[in-house]
């Protein structure tokens, strides 16, 4: 029947596993890693915060009908203006 085959570990997989598990030991700040950290820790959150602050309470999505504006401060159209269009 099927015998017990001996698996020989692939040395490339062993090196990759070691490098993946020990990244914190071999990490160095370079220009590339610093720029990635700058964008992901500084610019992206600041941009999202700016977007959230500037669009907060500007749109009214809940309770609007198909022909109504989504802006909260939009001028209200009278029924005569709606039927004229």
Q: Is residue 66 part of a domain?
A: yes
Q: Say how many domains are in the chain.
A: 1
Q: Is residue 81 part of a domain?
A: no
Q: What is the pLDDT of residue 61?
A: 75
Low-confidence ranges of the chain (pLDDT < 70): 1-4, 76-85
Q: Is residue 82 part of a domain?
A: no
Q: Is residue 67 part of a domain?
A: yes
Q: Residue 16 is part of which domain span?
A: 11-73
Q: What is the pLDDT of residue 5?
A: 74
Q: What is the pLDDT of residue 56?
A: 86
Its sign, for the CA torsion 14, 16, 21, 25, is positive
Closest CA to 60 of 70, 50, 52, 51: 70
Q: Is residue 78 part of a domain?
A: no
Q: Is residue 59 part of a domain?
A: yes
Number of H helices, E strands in the chain: 5, 0
CB 60 within 8 A of CB 70: yes
Tokens of 5: 């085959």
Q: Is residue 84 part of a domain?
A: no
Q: What is the pLDDT of residue 65?
A: 80
Q: Is residue 15 part of a domain?
A: yes
d(CA 52, CA 48): 6
Q: What is the pLDDT of residue 41?
A: 97
Taking the model in full, what pTM does it have?
Answer: 0.56
């Amino acid at each position: 029947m099927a015998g017990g085959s001996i698996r020989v570990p692939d040395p490339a997989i062993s090196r990759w596993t070691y490098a993946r598990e020990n990244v914190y030991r071999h990490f160095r700040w370079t220009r590339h890693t610093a720029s990635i950290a700058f964008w992901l820790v500084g610019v992206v959150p600041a941009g999202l915060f700016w977007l959230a602050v500037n669009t907060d309470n500007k749109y009214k999505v809940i309770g609007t009908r198909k022909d109504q504006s989504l802006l909260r401060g939009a001028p209200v159209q009278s029924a005569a203006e709606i039927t004229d269009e």
